[in-house]
Structure formats: C-alpha cells, structure tokens
Structure 1
C-alpha cells in the first residue's frame, strides 16, 4: 500500500561557521613574521528545492531532523577553512513552507524553485584579516557564527487545474481513470481513495490536470473523516467539480442534499468562493440513476450550475464534459496575470537607523538588540581578554555606549546584548571607554616595531633596574 504524507514538521539546522585562527608566522631568523591565521569556512545552508519526481513528504515524516555540515576552522600560514556542504532537500511541486505560528515563508511552485530554510553561519576572521596599521599583531581571532536552526512546517497542496469533490463512493476515482491515464484504486466501499490522485487530460489543444480528492463527509472542515486533511489540495485548482452519485443505495441521502453538504464544508474551509463550479451526475448507466438525474437536473440548473450527465462505466457524456472543463481552464489561465521577471527590491535603511536599539526592562536591565551587536557577541571568545576588548571597541564605535547614556544607564547597571534566551549580561562601566584604558592598545607587539637605538635600550634597562631596586628597598616583610 502506498503511503502518502502531505504535512510534516521539519527541524532544520544549518552548519556552523568555522572559527578563525590566531597564528604568528615563524621561520628561521624571523621568529615573529606577523599574523598569518586564516579565516574559518562558511557553514552549509539547508535548501528546499522543488523536484517533480517527488510526490510525497514521506521521507521527512520518517526523518524530520536534517542538518548541514559545519565549516572547517582556519589554520596558520593564511589557510582558510573549507566551507560546509549545503544540504539540498527535494520537495514536491506545490509545497508551502510555514513557520510555527502558521505564517507562510514560501510557496514553492515550479520545477527548480528554491527556498533557504536554514542559513549557514559565517566563518570567523583569522588574526591576519584583523590586522591593521594600528593593530599589527592581534592575539585573537573571531569565532564562527552558529548556523540557523528552526522548525518549519511543510504542507503539500496539489497543483492541479480541476478538483473532483464529493461524497465517498460517488465515482470520482472511476471518473479520473477514464478521463486520464491515472490508475487509482477503485472498489465498492467508502473511503477507497486515501490519497489525492492526479491525472492529465487532453481535450483538443488544451492539456490540463485533474485531481481526485478523497471523499468528504459532513464536518470535514472540522476534521471529521479525511476531509480536513485533504481539503488543502483543492486550494490551487481553477475549477471545482461536484461529482454526485445518482444511484446511491443509502436511503437518507440524495444528490441535491449531498451537494449542499459539500458546499457548506467548502464554505467553512474558506477561500474557495471565487472558483467556478460544475456538477456531474454520475452513474446514469443504472436505470434508477438516469431517472433521478432527469428529476434533479432542472433544480440544479435553476441554481446556476452547469450540469453534465456521465457514466464512467459506460463512458458516456465524457467528451462533452472534458471539453467544457478545457474551456473553463483556458479562461482561468488567460485571466491570471503574467509572471513578471525576477526583480531585485532595494530597501535602503533610514538615515536615522543606528542599527540597534536600547530598551530598559521592568527589572531595570538595559537590553541591546541589533544585528551587528548580537553577531559580534556570537563571534567573541570571552576567554580572551584581547578579544573582549576588541568587542568593546566595536560596540563603542557603533554608538552603543552613547545610546546607553542617553537611555539613563549609570555605572553598575546591568546591560544585556541579545535575546533573553541567549544574551550576554554584564555590569556597565562607562568610564572605561569600552575597555580602551583597561586593556591598553590591543594588538600591538613591540617586538614587531623597528629596532631601538643602542643608547635608548641602555636607558630603558637602567630605568627598569632602578625601578626594581626601589621596590626592593620599600619592601618590609614585617
């Protein structure tokens, strides 16, 4: 039995960026040749790609956790780390990507359409890339950023021009089997069809697809039967065809009531009021079926429906019906706006956009949020004082300290950078000018400077000796 899955929750994790390398070039007669640490590699992306050979989301139902590979760390001798390999996940045509709150992130229609579900982390810069005229020998490197990890919901909505809807055992599967080359399962019991079936129909010069949606029952829009699970498959269709059973053996049912029930379920589901409707009275090869069709046809036509009498078994009335569908599909395609070429939308930032915000919370904590500050925090190795000082300088240049002062922050107040679940919290000390006085001139190494004259070296040694002698004389063990 073929298993069909059209809704899954997928947990994607992009690759982490590799860490930068802090290294100093060394060779014979040149022990300190300058920084040569390479950059870390980029983490791999997780990308969804439409593949028309894929018809179900079954693979992701069994294996919902997918992760791309990490970038490799940099190395000495200016060697950059290898980028992580992107993870490409094929999905069926018509897959809709939603977040956990039900917001649509992407609607993937058309072969090759892609969506990056998880962005790989940036690689950290090595100390060679961090070197400058003022910071000639950085003793630190930046860490790689973690890859994006999030949960997305994949929903498959069948891409078809025509949807056949109706009660179980109304003859929808039989009808699609004679109109197209599709071979759905057909039997004389309800809910034979458990998955949507697709068929391709050719009527004159028009070729269109037709979908057989599993049988609907009262309450389908609220989750009864199979209706709620498969009603989404009619959303993309241009035409809705009500298949009515004129030879039903159930005494409490009749075709007109069936039509009203299905229409009510479609109304409750919503978003389908603009679709044209066609009514098909099926099973007229049975004498009682033909008699009932003759009785109810005038009533249906008074309601404005276009009615066709067919028999999937005897194959009568099918040509007229298929050409009528072709005409409606052609009109619907002509009414659709032509797809425009891909446009690049440029959204410049406002002139007063500082790139971050500072807010004071109820407990008095000041929280800094912004793409740059949060990214810089993730890239900082807090076990390295020089790296921490470099972060402080970057924040100061961005204007974070000035913004904190304007917000009313005082020395000793708590400041958090980042979201509540992953923030760096520290006591703010504005007098340290973002760490410049505390850590001195970071990244400078006197051994890389030009040699000092011999007289200057002697004076420096004498001054160091005198300072040591004064400390010894002032020392009192008691």
Structure 2
C-alpha cells in the first residue's frame, strides 16, 4: 500500500535536573556543594532514507517520544545525555507544523536530516550556586522543558518520469511491461488508486518511472483523488501523456489530451510547462490509421512529439523508451522549489526561551513562560537561600517592575501556574 500523507505527534526529551548534594567524606565534616548538572534530553530528528518508499509505517504508530536526560549526581557527576530519536522517512517528504501549516523541512536527499523537536538542556547542579554569602545552596536548577508538536508528513514522489492521462488508457500496462513493477491491472476505471514506481533500463541507461493514477476533470479542485495525485507529478523531470487512440470507449483522444493539460495548468502553472511526450496507446485496437495521423497532426502543431504504441503487444515501446532516456539527459535540472513558490518555513523555537509573560487576569497577576516554569520548579520554598534566589531573579529580570506598572499592591495575589502567592514589595 502507498501512503502519502500522515499525521503524527512528536515530543523531545526534557533536560535532566541538576543535583543537590554536599560532600560527606571522612575527615570533611562540612563539605561544600558537589551536585552535578543534568544531561540533555533527546531531540526528535527526521532523516531521509532512500530504502523507504511510503509513509505506511506511520499509520500504525503515530506517537514518537524521545528519552529525558539523566539527572545530575553527587561528586559533580553529570547526568547522561539522552540519545536522539531518529525517525526515517522516504526522500521527497515534506514536514509541516500542523498548527501553522508552515514547512519545517523538505527532505529530498538520502541521509538529509532535520531537527523537529529539540531536546531540553540539562539543569545546573547546586555547585554552581555557591557564593561568598551562600556557602551551602540547598537548591539546583531544573532541566529545560521538552518540545512537543503535531506534524503533518507529506510525500511527493521523486521520479524522473511521470505517466499521466485519463483512467484506463493503459498507463499501468506500460509500467508493468517496461519495468519489474507489478501494478494491479484490469479493464475498468480507477484500477490504480495509488502511485506505482518502477525502474526502466534501456541502452545501459536507467530512470525511475511513476504511474500516476488516472486524473479526471476537476482534479485540481480535489474532485476524485485529484489533489492526492497531482502533487506527485510536481517533482518529475518529464511527463509521458498517455491517450487511448482506439476510441473503443467513445472518447476523443485530442479532447482528452487538452482536458488533462488544463487540469495540470489549473493546479500549478509550472506543471503545464514541463517537458511532455505524447503517447497514443492501443494502436492494435485502432479502426483506421487515419485516426492516428489526424491526432498526430493536431499534437505536432502544439509542439509535442507523438509516439504510437501498443502496451499490450509491446509495439513501439523500445523507440519510446530510447527517446525518453535521451530527453532526460538533455533536460536541464530544475530546483524542486521555484523561486516564486518557496515555502514559508517554520522556525523551531528554542526550549531555552527566556521570555516571561506578565499579565493581569481579573483580580490575579499571572506569570507565564518556560523560564519562569523552570525557575519555579527549581526553587525550594522551604529554604531561605533558594527563596531569596527566586526573589532576586524576579527583581533582576524586571518582573517586579512590570507588576508595579500593572498596578499591583501589597496583599494582591500572584499566580504561577496553579500556585498562588501574596505580593509584598
């Protein structure tokens, strides 16, 4: 099964907490602080792996959580850093932040990596808080918080050549005939519901061929499965436009050709400008040679090369493949993203974010932010030195000044998360 879109939840590891510890060795009755730092939490990293072809694994597992960093230890021992969580995806995968729909990364090359959620930095042990006036700090710093987010994975095939055309014109038969791919083939519409890939070898050259499921009118608006399939054509270098020249279904091949090209143009102007080769399939079922000659003349006027083939018998396929291989060598490599269509990228926020929000909510004064959260959970409110450090931090960071600007008075309530304190200046 081919899966080209998936939603998953990722969470990095929290940084390990710093340790509160004091030397307790023989002949050293009142040793100083020796608490070590916490280790860094694991980051969530995505890596492109050319051995993968689909996003199917994400249908069965959609939650990925990295390990937390180890807490610091006595004797100034650092906690162990957690291993990063590596998630492998096929090349051609776009990673989006679900909340903003902005692109985090576009992984197109084998082993290309990107960090999606950074691991939290480890907290400092109490050895860092010793001063001339604070000889025995009974507190340490907590580790930085983890990052978590829901993301959307979107796969665009990385094929050299894409087969396009209406349903049941013989695209899957062509793929099965010229490659070792084995798509499901039958004489009814929409046999192919998922793109198929195959490798073509001709005259010591090779290229990747993708059978894109049949398009219909209105595909660019999402009618049928249009948008799901059109995205896979974007990254091909060349399009092989297949039409049914036999007319056994009462369709006009020239009219079909124009309708499909209009769908490509409506989806994005860039698709309509791609190099195209037109293939008139099912010539073995054609009633008259004049039908092909008339079609060829119309297409030639538009500037396209036309080949007549029979995918069922193999007639004309070798000439077609040689032409495609030569054309691929001559087509100039284009960037995957045109200058005017560059993605808007999401910036991974730093979990060391120091911003503290001070606001008034009804009768309460509220303090919010990762930095205040880290400070709050690092504070030992039963220890005078730790409490004094907490208060000094609020003063030095200008938090008390901001509270005064909001009109706080002695006895008013300050909320930090679910905890409430009386304010006295």
Range into which the TM-score falls when normalised by the shorter chain: 0.7 to 0.9
Q: Are 2:21 and 1:23 equivalent residues in the alignment?
A: yes
Cα drift, residue 266 of structure 1: 2.0
Which of these two proteins has the greater Rg computed from alpha carbons?
1
Q: Which has the higher contact order (CA 8 A, sep 6+)?
A: 2
CA–CA separation in structure 2 for the residues paired with 1:328 and 1:179: 17
**Equivalence for 1:458:** none
Q: Which whole-Å CA distance do the structure 1 matches of 2:316 and 2:119 have between them?
A: 57
Deviation at 1:7, TM superposition (A): 0.5
Q: 1:146 is matched with which residue?
A: 145
What do the CA deviations read for 1:11-63 (whole angstroms, capped 9, x no partner)? Answer: 01111222211111112342220111122222111111111112111111111
Instruction: State the alpha-carbon separation in 2 of the partners of residues 96 and 69 from structure 1.
Output: 25
Choose 360-369 or 140-149, whichever is displaced more.
360-369
Q: 1:290 to 1:66 in 2, by over 3 A?
A: farther
Which structure 1 segments of 5+ residues have no match? Answer: 338-353, 432-478
Q: How far 1:196 sits from its partner (Å)?
A: 1.2
- Note closer, same or farther for the CA distance 1:7–1:192 as it changes in structure 2 (3 Å cut): same
Picking from 40, 55, 63, the partner of 1:65 is 63
Match in the other structure for 1:50: 48
Partner Cα separation in structure 1 for residue 378 and residue 210 of structure 2: 55
Alignment of structure 1 residues 323-338 onto 2, 5 Å: 323-334=322-333
1:267 aligns with 2:273: no
Task: Tell me by how many angstroms 1:5 deviates.
Answer: 1.2
* More divergent stretch after superposition (383-392 vs 74-83): 383-392
CA distance in structure 2 between the aligned counterparts of 1:358 and 1:69, rounded to whole angstroms = 29
Q: Distance in 2 between matches of 1:369 and 1:388?
A: 19
| Mapping 1:67-466, distance limit 5 Å | 67-100=65-98, 101-204=100-203, 206-251=205-250, 253-270=251-268, 271-288=270-287, 290-334=289-333, 356=355, 373-374=371-372, 376-377=374-375, 380-381=378-379, 383=381, 386-401=385-400, 410-411=408-409, 431=425
TM-score, normalization by structure 2: 0.84
Deviation of the 1:209 alpha carbon: 1.7
SS in structure 2 opposite 1:328? helix
The offset of 1:423, in angstroms, is: 9.2
Contact 1:166 1:244 in 2 (8 A): yes
Quote the residue 2:339 is aligned against.
Answer: none
Number of residue pairs the alignment of both structures matches: 405
C-alpha distance in structure 1 between counterparts of 2:420 and 2:262, whole Å? 56
Aligned partners of 1:427 and 1:332: how far apart in 2? 72
Q: Distance in 2 between matches of 1:75 and 1:158?
A: 49
Residues 232 and 171 of structure 1: is their aligned pair in 2 closer, same or farther, counting only changes over 3 Å? Answer: same
> Contact 2:242–2:279 at 8 Å: present in 1 too?
yes
Provide, for residues 336-356 of structure 1, a one-character-per-residue CA deviation record: whole Å limited to 9, x for no partner: 59xxxxxxxxxxxxxxxx975
Per mean C-alpha deviation after superposition, the further-off stretch among 90-99 and 310-319 is: 310-319
CA shift in 2, pair 1:42/1:189, >3 Å:
same
Q: Which residue of 2 aligns with 1:462?
A: none
Distance 2:335 2:220 in 1: 28
Give me the whole-angstrom Cα distance separating, in 1, the residues matched to 2:334 and 2:93: 24
CA deviations on 1:71-102 (whole Å, 9 max, x unpaired) are 22222222222222322111111111001132
Query: Retained in 2: the 8 A contact 1:171–1:245?
Result: yes
- How far is the alpha carbon of 1:202 from its aligned partner? 3.9
The 2-side partners of 1:416 and 1:239 are apart by 62
TM-score scaled by length of structure 1? 0.75
Partner of 1:288: helix, strand, or coil? coil
Q: Whole-Å Cα distance in 2 between the matches of residues 424 and 245 of structure 1?
A: 72
**Contact kept? 1:124, 1:379, Cα under 8 Å:** no
Contact residue 13 and residue 118 of structure 1 kept, 8 A:
yes
Give the 5 Å matches for 1:460-475.
none
Aligned to 2:31: 33
For structure 2, the 5+ residue unaligned runs are 337-352
The farther-off stretch of 266-275 and 376-385 is 376-385
Report the aligned-residue RMSD: 3.1
- Gap change, CA 1:241 and 1:416, over 3 Å in 2: farther
CA distance in 2, matches of 1:84, 1:297: 64
Check conservation: 1:145, 1:379, Cα contact below 8 A.
Answer: no
Aligned residue number for residue 345 of structure 2 = none
**In 2, are the aligned partners of 1:145 and 1:375 still within 8 Å (CA)?**
no
**Residue-by-residue CA offset, 1:123-152 (whole Å, 9 max, x unaligned):** 221112333445332110111222111100
Distance across 2 between alignment mates of 1:6 and 1:256:
31
For residues 252-275 of structure 1, the C-alpha deviation after alignment (integer angstroms, 9 at most, x for no partner) is: x22122222222322332252332
Note closer, same or farther for the CA distance 1:334–1:52 as it changes in structure 2 (3 Å cut).
closer
Q: CA deviation at 1:322?
A: 2.4
